[in-house]
Amino acid sequence: GLPSRVTIWEVGPRDGLQNESTIVPVEVKLEFLDRLADAGLTTLEATSFVSPKWVPQLADAEQLLDGLQRREGVRYPVLVPNERGLKRALDAGCRDIAIFGSATETFAQRNLNSTVEKQFDMFEPVVSGARDAGMDVRAYLSMCFGDPWEGPVPYEQVVTAGKRLLDLGCSQLSLGDTIGVATAGQVEGLLAAFAEAGVGVERLAVHFHDTYGQALANTVTALRCGVTTVDSSAGGLGGCPYAESATGNLATEDLLWTLEGLGVETGVDLDKLVATSKWMAERLGRPSPSRVVNALAG
Ligand code: HMG
Ligand code: MG
């Protein structure tokens, strides 16, 4: 069956924008966040406290959080890789953070300048420090299905890394198909492997990029397996600068169209979101890749 309600974890302001080569003004980012909240989204991944040399687009994280009018009932998680990032997030008044690990060696190297083993040493003090400060910590795991350099990734390798991230003290693990290669059978297989390893599906979220057009099918498959938190990006913006051939995330509008059709509640207003993505596409100077945005925006 399907859940009666799904929580959408909106990653557009972070995953969506991090790959944009032209720096988006902080005022535009702030208006984007406001519009997403107006549309009824309640989890808005706002930015990252990473090295500005690695992700120049998000170098304005302090300015962004300083200008942000936080809404009641809306969470604004931020990505944090290390203790330096945690300090910045604490200083900026953040309540929710996310660490982001890799299931594969090549991506641990390229995205974190680390290894699969060493990344846990980097994250351990981040999670414990954040928990001590009363923050909630999500963990991402990238390359859960396929890696552009290493090919298909064995379920066992993903489950082992994912459990270690959860065991650091994270409340939720988001399974990332960073390069959008997964197909529905693999999604079932990986979720079954986590269940077998004793990780309840209520602790898992899914994060699909749409490179091969599979993100929506994979998401519906995950929902049928019991997942109730789905990551998506308004207008289908996005891509990881350190992953070859990563395109945008599943578009939030495409997800909403399907969920509305299936009678699954989200609390999000599709028309307001489409208008927001149309506005954002104008700011970025190119059309949204979302089919639903293009069908409805006219
Ligand atoms: P490094 O170069 O090994 O680190 O990077 P370092 O400790 O040698 O520091 C290098 C410089 O960065 C130093 O500055 C540090 O101070 C500074 P310098 O002395 O050269 O002037 N620095 C920082 N500055 C600000 N904030 C910080 C910070 N840390 C160091 N937190 C590091 C290691 C982890 C920092 C780097 O690799 C990094 O920032 N990586 C982040 C890459 C990233 O953001 N990728 C995209 C997000 S992940 C993703 O998109 C996937 C996801 O969507 C799920 C999926 O799709 O699979 C989540
Ligand atoms: Mg991503």
Residue range 78-95: mean pLDDT, rounded: 98
Cβ of 119 closer than 6 Å to ligand 1, yes or no, is no
In this model, does residue 243 exceed pLDDT 80? no
Q: Does the beta carbon of 238 sit less than 6 angstroms from any atom of ligand 1?
A: no
Q: What is the pLDDT at residue 56?
A: 97
How high is the pLDDT of residue 203? Answer: 98
Query: Would the pLDDT of 285 be above 80?
Result: yes
Q: Which of 94, 144, 170, 240 is catalytic?
A: 240
Residue 250 alpha carbon to ligand 2 centre in Å: 10
* CB of 230 shorter than 6 A to ligand 1: no
Q: Please determine, for residue 245, whether its predicted confidence score (pLDDT) is greater than 90.
A: no
Segment 258-281 mean pLDDT: 97
User: Residues 46-77: pLDDT tens digits?
Assistant: 999 999 999 999 999 999 999 999 999 999 99
Query: What is the C-alpha to C-alpha distance for residues 132 and 125, in angstroms, rounded to an integer?
Result: 10
Distance CA 153, CA 168 (A): 23
pLDDT-based confidence at residue 238 (cuts at 50, 70, 90):
confident
Q: What is the ipTM for the molecules in this complex?
A: 0.98
Ligand with an atom nearest the CA of residue 123: 1
pLDDT band (50, 70, 90) for residue 9: very high
240 among known catalytic residues? yes
What is the model's pLDDT at position 242?
A: 73
Residue 46, pLDDT score: 98
Given a cut of 80, is residue 298 above it in pLDDT? no
Q: Please tell me if the CB atom of residue 294 comes closer than 6 angstroms to any atom of ligand 1.
A: no
The percentage of residues in the chain with a pLDDT greater than 90, rounded to a whole number, is 94
Phi, then psi, of 265 in degrees rounded to 5: -80, 140
| Closest atom of ligand 1 to CA, residue 112 | 37
Q: Pairing between strand 151-152 and 146-147? A: antiparallel
Ligand 1 atom closest to Cα of residue 82: 31
User: In angstroms, how far is the first alpha carbon of the chain from the final one?
Assistant: 34
Mean pLDDT over 217-241 rounds to 94
Each residue's pLDDT tens digit, 104-141 = 999 999 999 999 999 999 999 999 999 999 999 999 99
Mark out the alpha helices in the chain (DSSP H runs). 26-38, 61-67, 83-91, 105-112, 116-132, 155-167, 184-196, 215-224, 252-262, 270-284, 291-297
Question: Among the atoms of ligand 1, which is closest to the Cα of residue 53?
Answer: 12
